[in-house]
Amino acid sequence: MSFRIRVFVLMALVALGATGTTVALTWWQARDQVSEAASASRETTELIQRELREQALRNGTWEGVDQTLRRLRGMTGQRLRLVDPYGMVVADTDHLDRRVARPPGSVAVFVDPLPELIVADRADGRQATLAAIDTYRTETLLAACLYRHGYELIVTPGPDGVHRHGLADGGETAAVEECRPARPAPWQRADDLAQLRQCGPVQADCLRAAFRRQIATGEIAPAPLLLTIGAGNEPVRTLDAGPVLLITLVVAALATGGALLISRRVLRPIGTLTAAARRLGSGDRDGRVPDEGRDELGELARAFNQMADSVRAAQDDQRRLIADVAHELRNPLANVRGYLEALQDGVVEPTADLFASLHEEVVLNQRIVGDLQELALAEAGALIYHRSPTDLADLIGTVRNTHRAAADAAEVALVVDADRPVIADVDPDRIRQVVGNLVRNAVRATPAGGTVTLTAATDGDRAVLRVTDTGTGIAAEHLPFVFDRLWRADPSRGRGSGGSGLGLAIVRQIVHDHGGEVSAESAEGAGATFEIRLPPAVNPGRSPRNEAGPGRGGRTRTACRPG
């Protein structure tokens, strides 16, 4: 089975499974919601009960409950109905909405405004219960009177469970005194005592029952009411399976079509990339793929084209390297072979100068082979570096002393410009090799009487090394290529005067391995400056390795002039 068919089948199965699961979940959820919509939720019922009970406790009467029902009707959207213990309707939102009363709903709960007595742990709770009965009657009558006079009341729970009432603003003491009821009649007090004597001094349950019987006697306390929520004749909504199935089929068709389109959209560019990769593998380095898209596939196409360009560039570099190496080695090997054959045939006398010349040719060939090997190791990341905090000012002093003899022979002055220590975390041997390569090239490019300056300084958080000469300079069109392998600004210069052409390539690789940067600035006829920027030492407080040693060069500006 092809990948296209597998992708299509997989996406179609995922789409159909997701669609079916979504439809099933939607069906079950909608069914549950429709069945629950016919009755009030538990939270709504508790809210309505709590609001109605708080009103009865606050006002001491059920008067004004119509406004509360109308407000709760607006909050919950439910039909509400209150019925007293005798079956009389106290309030009904259908009546308030001026519509014919519908049959009551299936949710029916009691709203009980009577408080629950709190019996204290004492020797005789009967006296406390008697006081709580008197308090309840007094507070209920007081609250009802104040409510009828239009006062706003606040309710405070008491330690015995009986609520105390007061005015919201704390004023109108005269109104409170006017509404305060008289003490209970003797016969009522006698009846209360008779009921409480049936309980023991610490029988909490019996005292609570007696308290409830006594405060519910008469017409003082608001009676418990039956609350019904909803209407019995409201139609029950059911789900029609037809539209759901139709939508399922439409979504499935769209998902299947989308899977087909996506598979074609994804696999067509992949097929193009596959064909291009096969052509690249068979040797066609010019094949590219379209990369107009801005999505991941377009990015993949651009990455492939970049890879193909890199492969082609690497192949071109390899061909140039092989050609350059062959060119560099062909002539000296031919010379060595010719002289050896001449010696073998007796044409040339075996003099000391001849052997010295042959030895020099072998040494030069060995040097170019060694440079190529070192550059290959560096580019492969196989060079080993032993880093330590190093004073670059001492290091360039050591380089100056090392190349002083060659500079004297060329009548070129070597100058060190470093007025303070410059610490960097580097491999001192490799950095000395880098600076030495730059100094060697600078001395070679500087005519007699010129100067090569070695500078160590800091620039922000970077350590900077510069090698500046007053030589012939480099043309602007040649600057981008100075760090390429086997490149020479003057093609006519051979190895004897122009080196192997690998020194600057080695410089660049070693500096990059240190996390630094190397650059060149020059103008033809005005000398050149090579700058190396290195990261600072991780722990500058450590004692740097003294690369100069006694007599190897100081940190002040010094010069070594020929003669």
DSSP for 270-320, written as a single string:
HHHHHHHHHHHHTT-TT--------SHHHHHHHHHHHHHHHHHHHHHHHHH
Q: Tokens representing 146?
A: 């104040």
Say how far apart CA 23 and CA 240 lie, in whole Å: 13
Helix-strand-coil split of the chain, %, nearest 5:
55, 15, 35
For residues 533 and 425, the answer to whether their CB atoms sit within 8 Å is: no
Q: Pick the range with the lowest mean pLDDT from 132-141, 448-457, 469-478, 497-506.
A: 497-506
pLDDT of residue 36: 55
Burial 509-526 (b: 16+ CB within 10 A, else e): bbbeebebebebebeeee
Evaluate if pTM is beyond 0.85: no
375 vs 78, residue with greater confidence: 78
HEC readout, 134-176: HHHHHHHHHHHHHHHCCCCEEEEECCCCCEEEEECCCCCHHHH
Q: Where does residue 93 rank: exposed (0-12), middle (13-18), buried (19+ CB within 10 A)?
A: buried
* Count of other CB atoms within 10 angstroms of residue 540: 12
pLDDT of residue 481: 82
pLDDT of 264 strictly over 80: no
Identity of the highest mean pLDDT range in 146-150, 284-288, 428-432, 492-496: 428-432
Identity of the highest mean pLDDT range in 200-204, 216-220, 450-454: 450-454
pLDDT of residue 194: 86
Residues facing 390 on adjacent strands: 424, 545
pLDDT of 490 strictly over 80: no
Query: Percent of the chain beyond pLDDT 70?
Result: 79
Give the residue-averaged pLDDT of 467-477: 89
Identity of the highest mean pLDDT range in 114-128, 306-320, 370-384, 423-437: 423-437
Query: Confidence class of residue 486 from pLDDT cuts 50, 70 and 90?
Result: low
pLDDT of residue 563: 40
pLDDT of residue 467: 95
Identity of the highest mean pLDDT range in 52-66, 227-241, 314-328, 546-560: 52-66
pLDDT of residue 268: 73
Give the residue-averaged pLDDT of 13-24: 72
Q: What DSSP letter does each residue of 112-134 carry, written as one string?
A: --PPPP---SSS-HHHHHHHHHH
- In tens, the pLDDT along 501-559 reads 677 888 898 999 999 999 999 888 888 999 999 987 765 544 444 443 333 334 444 44
pLDDT of residue 154: 85
373 vs 518, residue with greater confidence: 518
- In tens, the pLDDT along 143-159 reads 888 888 888 888 888 88
Q: Tokens representing 130?
A: 């008697």
Say how far apart CA 73 and CA 489 lie, in whole Å: 95
For residues 76 and 44, the answer to whether their CB atoms sit within 8 Å is: yes
pLDDT of 257 strictly over 80: no
**Amino acid at the residue 64:** G
For residues 239 and 58, the answer to whether their CB atoms sit within 8 Å is: no
pLDDT of 431 strictly over 80: yes
